[in-house]
């Protein structure tokens, strides 16, 4: 039997097994759970099942579907809590994006033999510090370490996924355009949220205890849209906004109207770190472009800046928005900036006193799992460098940053290649630089932000792989069709 037939038979077998077994498992588990947990499980299953189908039948659509789940799962969680009248500090719906992203393992495992040596070397270099920090985390942090590890691994799955999934330039453009469309919808809802504050969002604001996101009244809320707080909302928008500004093909169906909607919504989140990320990514892309490309991109950036200058003063609540942005010019007087400096000074002794590291699960939202739903000692960490060093310690941290360095080396090699797919490598370089610079505010290499970073990096690294495969396969395809290979 031919290998292609075996692969098709295996796919059909997996598809049949999933369709037959999964509904039975869901029904059995739901019967054992409370009505609240049963509702959450049903919603998670409804989001997860299409991911299985896409992984088996249309793996190229799996990334855009996962982005959609990242965007809507927090809003579904709020609606579910509001409908029950009960706020859950820990919800099964928080797992939906991670479980959906984990389904990428299906196409990866099916074609793992096709991963080339540079990709494999990069993956192994990340695997060593993750394995080290996981062993420490399991001993110190219990179940929280597994949740945190998943937040690291699911985004990193994008690297082998793009290495083995045959994306053409047109496929990549469709993916980025689809991401832009989702971002515009997120932005539109965010603007509605800013003007009206829907009941389920107000319910969550009241019960979550987050005092930094304003009050649940129109024009008094820091917009989080369909995401779970202003930070992730701003991150989701800014990683879509950069490609939308740079290239027409990446703007999606709404074109410049979509760009302006995303910009306005990004303003209402009041997340200044997102604007730093935006500027860094645009600058890196422009600097790495050709002379002709530089001028084109600069004109587009200027257009967005002028539109912003004209629109912002006309927005409802413009005084608060402009006051927030003006603090960028007097950063030393800003409370948030000074708090980060104080955090840096206070945490350096803690890192020195424990060079082995606290392990995975010691920092961020995962600390809730072993602390009765409350954030632990390092639950809020507004410095990514400190978060990484606390997690991985000195040896693991050096290996992790070494892996980042190798990723940068491979991306730069693609940028210097001067092929027609170089623009994807430039976008990957912009994402890598933005991620490293963004460590001044948070650890962006896990969760949603990690997914967006590794998506753009994976697209850039995988683009040449598609070209190489087509070159080697063309003579064979020509021979099979009876045509002579091109000389």
Task: Name the more confident of 405 and 465.
Answer: 405
Q: Which residue carries 């998506």 as its tokens?
A: 455
Among candidate residues 216, 213, 227, 229, the one with its CA nearest the CA of residue 183 = 227
Q: What is the pLDDT of residue 192?
A: 95
Task: Kindly state the average pLDDT of the residues 82-99.
Answer: 87
Q: pLDDT band at 212, cuts 50/70/90? A: confident
Q: What is the pLDDT of residue 6?
A: 52
Please say whether the beta carbons of 413 and 260 come within 8 A. Answer: no
Most confident of 3-7, 55-59, 87-91, 350-354: 55-59
Most confident of 86-100, 161-175, 191-205, 337-351: 191-205
In a domain, 243, yes or no: yes
Q: pLDDT band at 223, cuts 50/70/90? A: very high
Most confident of 79-93, 225-239, 291-305, 450-464: 225-239
pLDDT of 7 > 90? The answer is no
**Phi/psi of residue 214, nearest 5 degrees:** 85, -160
3-state secondary structure labels for all residues of the chain: CCHHHHHHHHHHHHHHHHHHHHHHHHHHHHHHCCHHHHHHHHHHHHHHHHHHHHHHHCHHHHHHHHHHHHHHHHHHHHHHHHHHCCCCCCCHHHHHHHHHHHCCHHHHHHCHHHCCHHHHHHHHHHHHHHHHHHHHHHHHHCCHHHHHHHHHHHHHCHHHHHHHCCCCHHHHHHHHHHHHHHHHHHHHHHHHHHHHCCHHHHHHHHHHCCHHHECCCCCCECCCCCCCCHHHHHHHHHHHHHHHHHCHHHCHHHHHHHHHHHHHHHHHHCCHHHHHHHHHHHHHHHHCCCHHHHHHHHHHHHHHHHHHHHHHHHCCCHHHHHHHHHHHHHHHHCHHHHHHHHHHHHHHHHHHHCCCCCCCCCCHHHHHCCCCCCCCCCCCCCCHHHHHHHHHHHHHHHHHHHHHHHHHHHHHHHHHCCCCCHHHHHHHHHHHHHHHHHHHCCCCCCHHHHHHHHHHHHHHHHHHHHHHHHHHHHHHHHHHHCCCCCC
In a domain, 1, yes or no: no
Please say whether the beta carbons of 466 and 168 come within 8 A. Answer: yes
Among candidate residues 8, 372, 438, 466, the one with its CA nearest the CA of residue 238 = 438
Q: What is the pLDDT of residue 352?
A: 73
pLDDT of 318 > 80? The answer is no
Percentage of the chain with pLDDT > 90?
A: 42
Q: What is the pLDDT of residue 474?
A: 41
Please say whether the beta carbons of 414 and 464 come within 8 A. Answer: yes
CA distance 249 to 177: 7
Q: What is the pLDDT of residue 295?
A: 76
Q: Which residue carries 């639950």 as its tokens?
A: 379
CA distance 182 to 72: 10
pLDDT of 487 > 50? The answer is no
In a domain, 88, yes or no: yes
Q: Which domain holds residue 313?
A: 35-471
Please report, for residues 110, 171, 394, 398, the alpha-carbon distance to residue 353 in angstroms, rounded to integers and kept in the order given.
45, 49, 11, 17
Q: What is the pLDDT of residue 481?
A: 35
Percentage of the chain with pLDDT > 70?
A: 76
Task: Name the more confident of 69 and 93.
Answer: 69
Question: What tens digit of pLDDT does each residue of 152-184 get?
Answer: 999 999 999 998 887 888 899 999 999 999 999
Q: What is the pLDDT of residue 326?
A: 61
In a domain, 310, yes or no: yes
Q: What is the pLDDT of residue 359?
A: 82
In a domain, 344, yes or no: yes
In a domain, 99, yes or no: yes
Q: Which residue carries 């509904």 as its tokens?
A: 23
Task: Kindly state the average pLDDT of the residues 232-252.
Answer: 94
Cα-only R_g, the chain? 23
Q: Which residue carries 């509001």 as its tokens?
A: 82
Would you mind telling me the total number of residues written for the chain in this entry? 487
Average confidence score pLDDT of the chain: 81
**Phi/psi of residue 186, nearest 5 degrees:** -60, -40
Please say whether the beta carbons of 136 and 356 come within 8 A. Answer: yes
Q: What is the pLDDT of residue 13?
A: 56
CA distance 21 to 429: 43
pLDDT of 381 > 80? The answer is no
Look at the chain and report how many structural domains it folds into.
1
CA distance 164 to 111: 6
Task: Name the more confident of 113 and 20.
Answer: 113
Question: What tens digit of pLDDT does each residue of 98-135 get?
Answer: 999 999 999 998 888 888 888 889 999 999 999 999 99
């Amino acid at each position: 039997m031919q290998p292609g037939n075996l692969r098709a038979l295996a796919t059909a077998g997996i598809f049949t097994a999933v369709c037959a077994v999964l509904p039975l498992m869901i029904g059995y588990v739901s019967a054992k759970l409370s009505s609240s947990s049963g509702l959450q499980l049903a919603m998670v299953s409804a989001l997860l099942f299409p991911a299985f189908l896409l992984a088996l039948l249309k793996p190229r659509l799996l990334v855009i579907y996962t982005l959609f789940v990242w965007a809507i799962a927090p809003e579904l969680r709020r609606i579910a809590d509001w409908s029950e009248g009960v706020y859950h500090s820990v919800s099964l719906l928080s797992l939906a994006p991670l479980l959906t992203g984990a389904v990428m393992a299906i196409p990866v495992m099916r074609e793992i033999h096709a991963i080339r040596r540079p990709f494999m070397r990069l993956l192994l270099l990340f695997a060593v510090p993750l394995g080290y920090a996981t062993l420490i985390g399991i001993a110190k942090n219990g179940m929280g370490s597994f949740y945190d590890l998943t937040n690291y691994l699911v985004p990193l799955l994008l690297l082998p996924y793009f290495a083995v999934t045959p994306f053409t330039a047109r496929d990549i453009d469709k993916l980025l355009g689809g991401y832009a469309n989702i971002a515009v919808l997120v932005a539109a809802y965010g603007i509605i949220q800013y003007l009206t504050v829907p009941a389920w969002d107000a319910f969550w604001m009241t019960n979550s205890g987050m005092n930094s996101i304003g009050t649940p009244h129109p024009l008094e809320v820091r917009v989080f849209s369909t995401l779970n707080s202003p930070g992730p909302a701003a991150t989701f928008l800014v990683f879509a906004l950069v490609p939308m500004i740079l290239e027409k093909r990446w703007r999606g169906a709404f074109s410049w109207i979509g760009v302006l909607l995303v910009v306005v919504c990004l303003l209402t989140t009041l997340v200044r770190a997102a604007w730093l990320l935006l500027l860094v990514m645009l600058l890196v892309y422009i600097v790495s472009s050709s002379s002709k490309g530089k001028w084109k991109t600069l004109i587009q950036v200027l257009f967005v800046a002028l539109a912003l200058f004209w629109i912002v003063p006309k927005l409802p609540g413009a005084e608060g928005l402009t006051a927030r942005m003006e603090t960028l010019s007097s950063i030393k007087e800003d409370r948030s900036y000074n708090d980060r400096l104080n955090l840096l000074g206070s945490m350096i002794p803690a890192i020195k006193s424990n060079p082995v590291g606290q392990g995975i699960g010691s920092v961020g939202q995962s600390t809730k799992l072993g602390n009765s739903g409350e954030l632990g000692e390092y639950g809020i960490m507004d410095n990514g460098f400190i978060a990484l060093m606390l997690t991985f310690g000195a040896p693991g941290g050096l290996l992790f940053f070494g892996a980042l360095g190798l990723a940068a080396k491979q991306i730069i090699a693609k940028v210097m290649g001067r092929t027609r797919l170089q623009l994807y490598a430039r976008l990957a370089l912009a994402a890598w630089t933005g991620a490293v610079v963004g460590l001044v505010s948070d650890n962006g290499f896990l969760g949603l932000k990690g997914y967006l970073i590794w998506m753009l990096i994976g697209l850039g690294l995988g683009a040449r792989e598609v070209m190489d495969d087509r070159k080697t396969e063309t003579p064979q395809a020509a021979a099979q069709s009876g045509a002579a290979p091109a000389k």
